[in-house]
Amino acid sequence: MDILVVGLNHRTSPVELREKLAFSAVEAQKLYEKLLDYKRVREAVLLSTCNRVEVYSWANEEGEDHVLSLLEESKGVPSQAVLPSLYIYRGKEAVRHIFRVASSLDSMVLGEPQIVGQVKDAFEEALTCDATGVILNQLMKKALSVSKRVRTETAIGESAVSVSYAAVELSKKIFGDLANRKAMLVGAGEMAELAARHLVHQGVSRLTVVNRTLTRAQELAQELQGQAVPMEHLEEKLVEADIVITSTGAPHTLITSEAVQRAMKERKRRPIFFIDIAVPRDVDPEVERLENVYLYDIDDLGQVVEENRRRREKESVKAEAIVIEEVDRFLQWLKSQEVVPVIVSLRNRCEEIRRKELEKAISRMHLNGKETKALEALTTAIVKKILHTPLSYVKEAASRGEGEKVAKLVKELFALEEKDDHTDRHQGQ
Beta strands in 137-186 (DSSP E): 182-186
pLDDT lower than 50: segments of the chain:
420-423, 429
Same domain? For 146 and 68 the reply is yes
pLDDT of 144 = 97
| Amino acid sitting at position 389 | T
What CA–CA distances, in Å, run from 281 to 183, 278, 285, 423? 19, 5, 8, 67
325 lies in some domain: no
Across 264-337, the runs of DSSP E, i.e. the strands, are 272-276, 293-297
> So what's the pLDDT on residue 71?
86
Query: Which member of 50, 83, 353, 381 is catalytic?
Result: 50
Neighbours of 91 (CB within 10 A): 13
247-269 b/e (C-beta count within 10 Å ≥ 16 → b): bbeeeebbbebebbeebbeebee
Question: Do 14 and 148 sit in the same domain of this protein?
Answer: yes
Question: Domain check: are 108 and 64 in the same one?
Answer: yes
Q: What is the pLDDT of residue 425?
A: 56
Give the model's pLDDT for residue 369: 87
Residue 96 counted as domain residue: yes
Asked if the structure places residue 158 within a domain, the reply is no
Q: Are 16 and 73 in contact (CB under 8 A)?
A: no
Q: CA-CA distance, 105 to 182, in Å (whole number)? A: 36
Residue 390 is predicted with a pLDDT of: 87
Shared-domain flag, residues 257 and 126: no
Our count of domains for the chain comes to: 3
**What pLDDT, on a 0 to 100 scale, did the predictor assign at position 307?**
86
Do both 265 and 368 map to the same domain? no
Cβ–Cβ under 8 Å, residues 220 and 185: yes
* 283 vs 253: CA distance, rounded Å: 6
Range of the domain at 35: 2-153
- Count of residues making up the chain: 429
147 plus 169 within the same structural domain:
no
Question: Does 258 lie in the same domain as 167?
Answer: yes
pLDDT in the model for residue 289: 94
Instruction: Look up 350 and say whether it is catalytic.
Output: no
Q: 131 with 103, same domain?
A: yes
182 and 248 part of one domain: yes
Phi-psi region of 401 (alpha: psi -120 to 50; beta: other; left: phi over 0): left
Same domain, 148 and 192: no
Q: What is the pLDDT of residue 133?
A: 93
Q: 127: which residues sit within 8 A by CB, 6+ positions away?
A: 137
Q: Give residue 375's identity as a one-letter amino acid code.
A: L
Per-residue model confidence (pLDDT) at position 328? 93
Residues 112 and 68 in one domain: yes
Q: Which of 153, 172, 201 is the last residue of a domain?
A: 153
Is residue 8 domain-shared with residue 137, that is, in the same domain?
yes
Write the CATH number for 229. Answer: 3.40.50.720
Whole-angstrom distance, CA of residue 41 vs CA of residue 374: 46
